[in-house]
A and B are shown apart, each in its own frame.
Chain A
C-alpha cells in the first residue's frame, strides 16, 4: 500500500470525526456557556483562592476511558453508518485498515489533550491577571501539564487498541469474551489513580515518575503498556481477519 493511500485513509477517518464536532451545534453552545460561567466564577471568587485552575487537571483521569471510546466508536460507526462493506472490501490488509484507525484516533486523542491543556493554561493566566496573584504558578502548571501529556502519549495507544478490539469483538463470533475486556477497560483506564497522581496534584507536586519519588522500576510500566497495547492490536487484527460476522 502506498504511503499516500494510508495517509488518505487516516485523513478520511479524521474528517468523519471532525464532521461530528462541527455539526454538534448544541455541544458548542453548552461549551461556550460553561466557559463563560468558569471565567465569571474565577473573576468573582478566584481572588479568595476558592478555585484553582490546576485542579481541572483531574479531568485527565477520564481521558484514557474517553480515548478508548473514541477508537471503539470508529469501529462501531462502520456498522451503524452502513459503510462496513466499503471499508472491509478495500484492497488493503486488515492490518493497514486498522492501523489507519489507530493513527487517526491517536491524532484525535492528542488534539483533544493539547486543546484541554491549552484551555487550562489560558484559564490560569486569566485567573492570575484578574486577581493579581502573580504568574509564579503558571510555569509550574505548564510543567505539570507537560508531564500529564507525556503520560497520555505513552498510555493512550494501549487504550486505543483496546477500543478497536472491543468494537470488533462486538461484531464477531467471539462476542462472549467482551465482558472480560470491559473489565480490562475499567481497570486499565484508571492508570492515573493507580500511579498515585491524584495525591500529587492535590499536593501541588509533580507526578511521582518525574520528581523521583517513584522507584526507578516504575518506568518499566511504559514498555509494559506498549507490549499490552501491541497484543491488543494484534488481537483486533486477528478478529477482523477471521472472526467477524458479516
Chain B
C-alpha cells in the first residue's frame, strides 16, 4: 500500500529532552491510522511536524509526497492539540471563517455536520461547553475535502455524550470519502472500531505499528496492547 506520510529517523529535542528520537513511521494512504501513546510520548510533536508547525532537528518527513510547509497545508485539514476556538464568534461566523480561509472547505457540508452535532448557528463561543467547542472545531476540519485529515486529541477533556457524537460523526464522514486520516488519542475504548492501522509511540520512538486486525490477532485488543506496552 502506498504511504501518504513517511517519516524516517525523525528527531526533535526541546532542550535536553528528546520529544522524538529516531522516529520511523509510514501511514498508509486512504486508511484511518491511530497514533497512540501516553502523555509525553511525542505524538503531538509528530502531528505538529505534519503541518510544518515544528521542524525536525534531523530525519526526513514527507506528507503526500512533499515536505511539510504552509503551502502543503492546502491539502491538510488539521485539528491542533489543546486548541480553543476564537472568542466572540458564533457557529455561523466560524463557518464563515472556514469558508473564507480554508481551501476546499464545503460550506454545505459544514452546516450539515453542525446540525448533526447539535450546534445552532447563533451559538456563541463564550456560551459553549468544552464539548460543543470541540464539536465546532471538528466540524471545521471535517468540512474540508482534502486528501489528509490530521486530528490531534479530538476527544481530549470532553464529556462522554460529546465523545459519542464525535465518534458517530467520524464514522459517518469516513464511510463516504477517500481520505487519509490520522488520529492521535487516548480514548482507545471508544474509538478502537474506527482504526485500520495503529502506531504505538513510546519515548519518542515507534514501539509497535501495523494493521489493527493483524495486531489484534497477534496480541488481543488495542487496549490490551496499550496496557502491555505502557502499563
List residues of chain A with CB under 8 Å of any chain B CB.
4-5, 8-9, 12, 15-16, 19, 23, 81-86, 88-94, 242, 244-246
- Interface positions of B from 23 to 81, Cβ below 8 Å from A: 48, 51-55, 70-74, 76, 78, 80-81
**Chain A nearest Cβ from B177, distance in angstroms:** 20
A81-B84, A85-B78, A94-B70 given. 11 additional CB < 8 A pairs?
A9-B101, A15-B88, A16-B88, A82-B84, A83-B84, A85-B81, A86-B85, A88-B51, A91-B70, A91-B72, A242-B55
Q: Which residues of B contact A (CB under 8 A)?
A: 14, 48, 51-55, 70-74, 76, 78, 80-88, 97, 100-103
Q: How far is the CA of A142 from the CA of B167 in the complex (A)?
A: 63
Contact residues in A for B85 (Cβ distance below 8 Å): 83, 86
CB pair A83–B83 under 8 Å, yes or no, is: yes
A12: chain B residues within 8 A (beta carbon): 86, 97
The 22 sampled A-B contact pairs (Cβ below 8 Å) are A4-B100, A5-B101, A9-B101, A12-B86, A15-B88, A23-B88, A81-B87, A83-B83, A83-B86, A84-B80, A85-B80, A86-B86, A89-B73, A89-B76, A89-B78, A90-B73, A91-B71, A91-B103, A93-B70, A242-B55, A245-B14, A246-B53
Given contacts A85-B81, A89-B73, A94-B70, contact A8 B101 (CB under 8 A): yes
* Least Cβ–Cβ distance between A202 and chain B, in angstroms: 43
Contacts of B74 in A (CB 8 A): 91
Choose from A9, A88, A91, A242 the contact partner of B53 (Cβ within 8 Å): A88
A89-B51, A92-B70, A246-B54 given; A81·B101 CB < 8 A: no
Q: With A and B bound together, what is the CA distance between A90 and B73 in angstroms?
A: 7
User: Binding site of A, secondary structure by majority: helix, strand, loop or mixed?
Assistant: helix
- Rounded to whole Å, the gap between the CB of A157 and the closest CB of chain B is 24
Q: What is the distance, in angstroms, from B47's C-beta to the closest C-beta of chain A?
A: 10
Cα separation A21 to B118 with both chains bound (whole Å): 31
4 nearest A-B pairs in the assembled complex, by CB-CB distance? A85-B80, A82-B84, A19-B88, A91-B73
Contact across chains for B82 and A90 when beta carbons are under 8 A apart: no
Q: Nearest residue in A to B77 (C-beta to C-beta)?
A: A89
Hey, which chain B residues are within 8 Å of A89, CB to CB? 51-53, 73, 76, 78, 80
